[in-house]
Amino acid sequence: MVEHCLRWRLFLCRIALAASVAALAATPLAARAQTDSDNSDSAHAASVSGDYSSSLDWKNYLKMDDSLSALPGSPAPRPQYGQRSNYPTYQSRWSRVAIEAGAGFTAPVGNTAHGWETYGYNIKAGAGWNFTKRLGILLEYQWNRDKIPGSTLTALAIANDLTTPLGGNVNTWSFTLDPIFYLPVNHRTGAYFTGGGGFYRKVTNFTQPALTYICYYYCYPGYVPVTVAHSSSNQGGLNIGAGFYWKPLGEDSNMKLFAEARYTWVDSPTASPSNPYGSGTSSLIPVTFGVRF
């Protein structure tokens, strides 16, 4: 009887041991299944509410957004806070072209002022290229017209036994190549230095009054100056000067109003029997007011 009870106890112990081992083995599988179930429930809930909580889903979303912004015709992404967006600056093909025009008065100095020329006027025009905002170069045409002093004309009339008075003028025109360097004082005003050299032509004219008919709205007799003698010479020359400028339309405008003075030296020939009206080298100071772009 006792032996029969021991056998039953041993059998029950083995069944309990087997059940424990099976329970331990099934625990990880149940936990994994529960995790998968939770993930599927969370994904379903997120799809319904539109709230992406998974970091993997966020990464995929960002990658998809970057790929869309890279498509042709898509707008450029906005810069993040604290970053600068670099936009290309547009410049017209004409933005570096320089154009100028001006006029003023001309004063003779040096040998020219010793009885050969007196005050006159000048006209100037030019064009060139701006390498930078401070450095450029101009090809300039300038025309100076000065009078001959009355005392010199009277002496020449007496020496040549003329019964009518003489008139006269000296025209000096030039084509020069002149670099220009700007020195801004503030955003709208500044100074500049310029100078160069090139071709100069000097023409001296002597006139006498002649009776003729003058016609405007009707014709009537009158006296007009007629050239009776002249001399001319072609030579090289130099100029150097400085000026001030002002931008009336604002600092971003290329328009500048300027006022400048230059010293001009022309290597004209001296007086000779073949050219009795020459004054030798000419020295002028043209003072010019104008506009430059």
* pLDDT at residue 277, as a whole number: 63
Q: Which residues of 143-170 are buried (b: 16+ CB within 10 A; e: fewer)?
A: bbbbbbbeebbeebbeeeeeeeebbbbb
- The Cβ-side half-sphere exposure at 65, using a 13 Å CA radius, reads 9
Residue 102 to residues 9, 122, 224, Cα–Cα distance (Å): 127, 8, 29
* pLDDT at residue 213, as a whole number: 85
* pLDDT at residue 268, as a whole number: 83
Give the containing element (helix H, strand E) for 291: strand 282-292
Could you give the domains of the chain?
Answer: 97-161+171-199+233-292 (2.40.160.20)
Which of 257, 240, 239 minimizes the C-alpha distance to 248? 257
> Mean pLDDT by 10-residue block, N- to C-terminus, for the chain (293 residues)?
50 57 50 49 45 47 47 52 44 82 95 86 97 95 95 88 89 97 96 97 92 86 88 93 96 93 90 63 95 96
